[in-house]
Structure 1
């Protein structure tokens, strides 16, 4: 159970990181 929970958290963090990077890229393009 702990392993699954940890994996799920890692997946969410990865997704969040990707979204943040995408936003940053968009901002740079606009500038």
Structure 2
């Protein structure tokens, strides 16, 4: 179970990174 939780955490981190990246891209365009 521990490994499953770690994998889930990694997926969540990737999602957050994608959101942050898109936000910075929008700011740069502005």
Give the TM-score of the pair, scaled to structure 1: 0.91
> Which stretches in structure 2 are left out of the alignment for 5+ residues?
none
Number of corresponding residues: 30
- Runs of 4 or more off by more than 3 Å in structure 1? none
Give the TM-score of the pair, scaled to structure 2: 0.93
CA RMSD in angstroms, aligned pairs only:
0.4
> Which stretches in structure 1 are left out of the alignment for 5+ residues?
none
